[in-house]
C-alpha cells in the first residue's frame, strides 16, 4: 500500500515480521488441525477393524468347537494333497515332448530309396539325428527336401559327406525342431 | 524474547490478519470506529467518542500519556474490543500535529525519492530531519509526465513516541499512523469526480481546511476558530442584547439557529452567526483561488480554483451555516457524505448523518484499515 504511514520504520518492520509469523502460525495451526482430523479418522478405522477381527476370531473359535470341524479339516488336508498332485502332474506334462506326430509326418512323407538305420531324439526335445541309407544321391536330396518341409522341423543340417557318392550313400541329418 | 513470546501469545489461530479498528484524536476527544465485517461496503459496526480531560492533548501533542492510555482503554471497552489481548488499529493523527506538503520534483523513481526524503523534508518542513518522522506518496502516476508530484507528510518524533507509548499501555498495535486531512479526504471525496473542493471540518477546538484539487490535497491547515469559539462568540453577541433569551446559554445557540433558520424574525441570530464565522469566511476567501509556488506544483497545476465547499464536522449538518458560507463566498456549499464510497446512502444504520460528519476522520481511518486488511499478506 503506497499510502502515507508515519509509523517509524522499526514498527513497520516489526509489523511485517509479525505478519510473516502470523502466516506461519496460521498455516501450521491448520496443518495440525488437518493432521488431527486424519489421526481421528485413522483411529476410528483401526478400532472398527479391531472389532471386526475380534468378531471373526470369536466366530472361528466357535467353529473349532463344532464336531464337524475335524471333518472340515480333513477335507482341507485332502484338497491340499490333491492340489499338490495336480501341480506335479502339470509340471511333468510340461516337460514331455510328444514325438509321435513328428514321426507320423516323417513316415507319411517317406521318400523312395531311403531306409533308416537310427533315429536319435534329444531329451530336451529340440534336436533329432537321423541316419540311414539312400540308394542314390537324388534319393538323399529328396529326403533332405522332405525333411525341410516337415512342419515340426525348423532347420536341417546335412554334412557334405552325405552327397559325395553317386550311389549307396550312408547319410546323417541333424534336425533342429520347432 | 519477551516481546516475541507476547506476540505468539496474542495470535488468534483463526485470524490470518486481524482487521484494525480506527482511532482518531484531537485536543478534546478520542474517537473509535469498527466496521461491519464480511461485507464489501464500508459500514459502521460500533463507534464511540471518549472525551479527553483538559490538557491531556495540547496542540495535537499528548501531554499526559497515562491519562490518554486510560481513555484509550475506556474507548476500547465501549466498542467491545477491550477484552482482546491486542487490538490492531489505524491511528489518525490530528491536523495540527502534522505537516503535509505537496511537492513537484523532476521525474524520479520511488527509490530515488526514498533516498532523498530527508533532504526534501529538511527543505520543506519546519523541523530538523533528526526530530521528524516522515513519509510520502505519489500524487499522480502518469508515466509520461516529466514532473513527479508527491505529497510529503511529517510529524515530530517525540509526538510519535508518546503515541506509541500510550498505545503500548492500552495494548493497541498501531498498523499505520494516518493524517486527519488525508482521512477526511478519503471519506468525503469521490475519486471519480475531479472537481476542486475546499473541505471545512468543524471540530470543537479548531476548524480544519483541506483544499483538494480533484486528485490530491493541495493544502491543509487549521484555524483556532473551532465550534467552541464560534459558540462563545454567538453567545456573547446575543447576551449583549437582553431581548434575546438564548444568549444566556452558549450551547443552545446552534439549536436555536437550526430551528429558526433564516427569516426576518431572527436577524440578530443571523448577524451573530455571520460575525462568528467571519474568520472562517476570511480563510475560505484566501483559498478560493490558490496559487502554489513552483516547488509545490507543476506549472499546469499550480493555480487551484475552488469550485465547491464541502462541510463536515459538528456544524456541517446545520443548513443555516451552509447558507451563510455560501452567501458570503459565492460558492456552492454542500454537506459531505462520509459514506460516499458506498454510493448514495441517505441513512447509515447505527449512525446518523450528523454523527457521521463528526466522525469523518475516523471513517477515513477505517477505510484505510479496510484497504490494509484486504491487501495481500505477503505484499
Nearest chain B residue to A9 by CA distance is B133
* A19 contacts B174? CB cut-off 8 A: no
**DSSP tag of A158:** -
pTM of the entire structure?
0.71
Check residue B142 and give its pLDDT: 63
At residue B82 the predicted structure's pLDDT band, cuts being 50, 70 and 90, is confident
Of B13, B177, B371, the CB nearest to A7: B177
Angle at CA of residue B113, ends B112 and B115, nearest 5°: 65
CB–CB contact A19 B17 (8 Å)? yes
Cα–Cα dist B126/A112, whole Å = 133
Find out whether B55 and B64 touch, Cβ atoms under 8 Å. yes
β-pairing, B147-156 vs B98-106, is antiparallel
**C-alpha to C-alpha distance for B181 and B172, rounded to whole angstroms:** 23
- Evaluate if residue B1 carries a pLDDT over 70: no
| Residues of chain A contacting B377 with CB distance shorter than 8 Å | 19, 22-23
Does the structure show a pLDDT above 90 at B136?
yes
Which has more pLDDT, A35 or B116?
Answer: A35
Question: B258 pLDDT exceeds 70?
Answer: no
User: What pLDDT does B375 receive?
Assistant: 81
Q: Supply B18's cell numbers.
A: 486481524
Question: C-alpha grid cell for residue A20?
Answer: 510473516
pLDDT on residue B351: 85
Share of chain B above pLDDT 70, in %: 82
Q: Between B161 and B10, where is the model more confident? A: B161
**3-state DSSP percent of chain A in helix, strand and coil, to 5:** 60, 20, 20
Residue B312: pLDDT over 80: yes
Which helix (DSSP H) or strand (DSSP E) does residue B167 occupy?
helix B157-169
Residue B27 per-residue DSSP state? S
- 8 Å CB contact between B272 and B256: no
Q: Which of B175, B184, B187, B366 to mutate to test the interface with A (most CBs of A within 10 A)?
A: B175
Distance (Å) of CA B227 to CA A24, B3, B158, B280: 50, 43, 29, 11
> If DSSP states are collapsed to H, E and C, what string results for B58-113?
ECCEECCHHHHHHHHHHHHHHCCCCCCCCEEEEEEECHHHEEEEEEEEECCCHHHH
Average pLDDT over residues A131-150: 90
B14 contacts on A by Cβ (under 8 Å): 29
Taking alpha carbons only, the member of B182, B175, B28, B187 closest to residue B87 is B175
pLDDT at B289 over 80: no
Contact call for residues B360 and B312 (beta carbons, < 8 A): yes
Q: Which residue of B has its CA nearest to A12?
A: B175
Question: In whole numbers, what is the pLDDT of chain B averaged over residues?
Answer: 83
More confident position, B196 or B140? B196
User: Each residue of A142-152: pLDDT tens digit?
Assistant: 989 988 888 88
- The number of beta carbons lying within 10 Å of the beta carbon of residue B53 is 12
Mean pLDDT, rounded, for B26-53: 90
pLDDT band at B379 (very low <50, low <70, confident <90, very high): low
Residue labelled with grid coordinates 492510555: B69
Contact residues on chain A for B368, CB-CB shorter than 8 A: 3
The answer to whether A157 touches A173, Cβ cutoff 8 Å, is yes
pLDDT given at position B294: 64
Q: Could you tell me if B21 and B88 are in contact, meaning their C-beta atoms sit under 8 angstroms apart?
A: yes
| B16 vs A4, A15, A23: nearest CB | A23
Helix H, strand E, coil C: the string for B31-71 is: EEEEECCCCCCCCEEEEEEEECCCCCEECCEECCHHHHHHH
Residue whose entry in the numeric block shows the C-alpha cell 456549499? B333
Whole-angstrom distance between the N-terminal and C-terminal Cα of chain B? 26
Contact B154, B304 (CB under 8 A): no
Per-residue confidence at B5, pLDDT binned at 50, 70, 90?
low
From first CA to last CA, the distance across chain A in angstroms is 84
Asked if the model's pLDDT at residue B141 lies above 70, the reply is: no
**For B108-134, b where at least 16 C-beta lie within 10 A, e where not — what string?**
eeeeebeeebeebbeebbebeeeebbb
3-class DSSP assignment, residue B26: coil
Query: Number of A:B CB contacts under 8 A?
Result: 74
Which of B134, B151, B372 is closest, CB to CB, to A1? B372
CB-facing half-sphere around the CA of B200: CA atoms within 13 A: 32
Grid cell 471525496 is found at B189
ipTM: 0.83
Per-residue pLDDT reduced to its tens digit, B178-229: 999 999 999 998 877 788 899 999 988 889 999 888 888 888 888 888 888 8
**pLDDT score at B39:** 80
Amino acid at each position: 500500500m503506497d499510502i502515507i504511514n508515519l509509523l517509524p520504520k522499526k514498527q513497520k518492520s516489526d509489523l511485517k515480521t509479525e505478519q510473516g509469523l502470523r502466516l506461519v502460525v496460521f498455516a501450521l495451526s491448520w496443518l495440525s488441525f488437518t493432521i488431527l482430523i486424519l489421526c481421528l479418522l485413522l483411529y476410528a478405522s483401526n478400532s472398527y477393524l479391531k472389532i471386526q477381527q475380534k468378531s471373526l476370531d470369536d466366530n472361528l473359535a466357535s467353529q473349532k468347537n463344532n464336531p464337524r470341524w475335524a471333518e472340515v479339516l480333513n477335507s482341507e488336508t485332502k484338497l491340499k494333497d490333491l492340489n499338490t498332485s495336480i501341480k506335479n502332474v502339470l509340471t511333468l506334462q510340461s516337460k514331455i515332448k510328444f514325438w509321435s506326430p513328428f514321426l507320423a509326418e516323417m513316415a507319411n512323407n517317406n521318400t523312395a530309396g531311403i531306409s533308416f538305420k537310427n533315429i536319435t531324439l534329444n531329451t530336451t526335445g529340440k534336436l533329432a539325428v537321423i541316419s540311414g541309407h539312400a540308394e542314390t544321391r537324388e534319393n538323399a536330396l529328396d529326403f533332405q527336401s522332405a525333411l525341410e518341409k516337415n512342419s515340426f522341423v525348423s532347420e536341417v543340417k546335412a554334412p557334405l559327406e552325405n552327397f559325395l557318392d553317386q550311389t549307396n550313400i550312408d547319410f546323417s541329418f541333424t534336425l533342429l525342431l520347432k | 524474547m519477551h516481546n516475541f513470546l507476547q506476540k505468539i501469545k496474542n495470535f488468534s489461530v483463526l485470524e490470518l490478519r486481524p482487521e484494525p479498528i480506527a482511532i482518531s484524536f484531537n485536543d478534546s476527544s478520542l474517537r473509535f470506529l469498527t466496521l461491519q465485517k464480511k461485507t464489501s461496503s464500508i459500514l459502521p459496526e460500533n463507534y464511540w467518542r471518549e472525551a479527553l480531560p483538559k490538557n491531556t492533548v495540547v496542540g495535537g501533542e499528548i501531554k499526559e500519556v497515562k491519562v490518554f492510555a486510560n481513555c484509550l482503554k475506556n474507548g476500547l471497552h465501549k466498542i467491545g474490543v477491550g477484552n482482546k489481548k491486542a487490538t490492531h488499529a489505524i491511528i489518525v493523527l490530528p491536523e495540527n500535529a502534522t505537516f503535509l506538503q505537496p511537492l513537484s520534483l523532476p521525474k524520479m523513481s520511488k527509490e530515488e525519492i526514498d533516498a532523498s526524503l530527508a533532504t526534501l523534508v529538511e527543505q520543506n518542513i519546519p523541523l530538523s530531519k533528526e526530530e521528524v518522522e516522515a513519509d510520502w506518496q505519489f500524487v499522480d502516476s502518469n508515466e509520461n509526465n516529466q514532473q513527479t508530484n508527491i505529497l510529503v507528510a511529517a510529524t515530530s518524533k517525540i509526538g510519535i513516541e508518546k503515541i506509541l507509548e500510550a498505545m503500548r499501555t492500552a495494548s493497541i498495535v498501531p498498523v499505520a499512523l494516518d493524517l486527519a486531512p488525508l482521512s477526511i479526504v478519503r471519506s468525503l471525496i469521490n475519486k471519480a469526480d475531479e472537481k476542486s473542493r475546499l473541505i471545512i471540518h468543524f471540530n470543537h477546538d479548531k476548524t480544519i481546511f483541506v483544499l483538494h484539487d480533484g486528485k490530491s490535497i493541495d493544502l491543509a491547515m487549521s484555524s483556532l476558530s473551532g465550534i467552541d469559539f464560534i459558540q462563545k462568540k454567538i453567545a456573547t453577541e446575543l447576551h449583549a442584547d437582553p431581548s434575546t433569551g438564548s444568549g444566556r446559554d452558549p450551547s443552545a445557540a446552534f439549536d436555536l439557529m437550526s430551528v429558526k433558520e433564516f427569516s426576518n424574525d431572527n436577524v440578530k441570530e443571523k448577524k451573530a452567526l455571520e460575525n462568528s464565522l467571519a474568520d472562517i469566511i476570511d480563510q475560505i476567501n484566501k483559498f478560493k483561488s490558490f496559487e502554489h509556488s513552483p516547488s509545490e506544483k507543476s506549472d499546469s497545476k499550480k493555480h487551484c480554483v475552488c469550485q465547491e465547499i464541502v462541510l463536515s464536522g459538528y456544524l456541517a449538518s446545520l443548513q443555516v451555516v451552509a447558507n451563510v458560507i455560501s452567501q458570503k463566498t459565492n460558492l456552492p456549499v454542500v454537506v459531505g457524505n462520509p459514506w460516499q464510497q458506498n454510493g448514495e446512502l441517505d441513512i447509515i444504520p447505527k449512525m446518523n448523518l450528523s454523527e457521521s460528519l463528526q466522525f469523518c476522520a475516523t471513517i477515513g481511518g477505517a477505510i484505510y484499515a479496510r484497504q490494509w486488511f484486504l491487501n495481500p499478506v505477503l505484499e
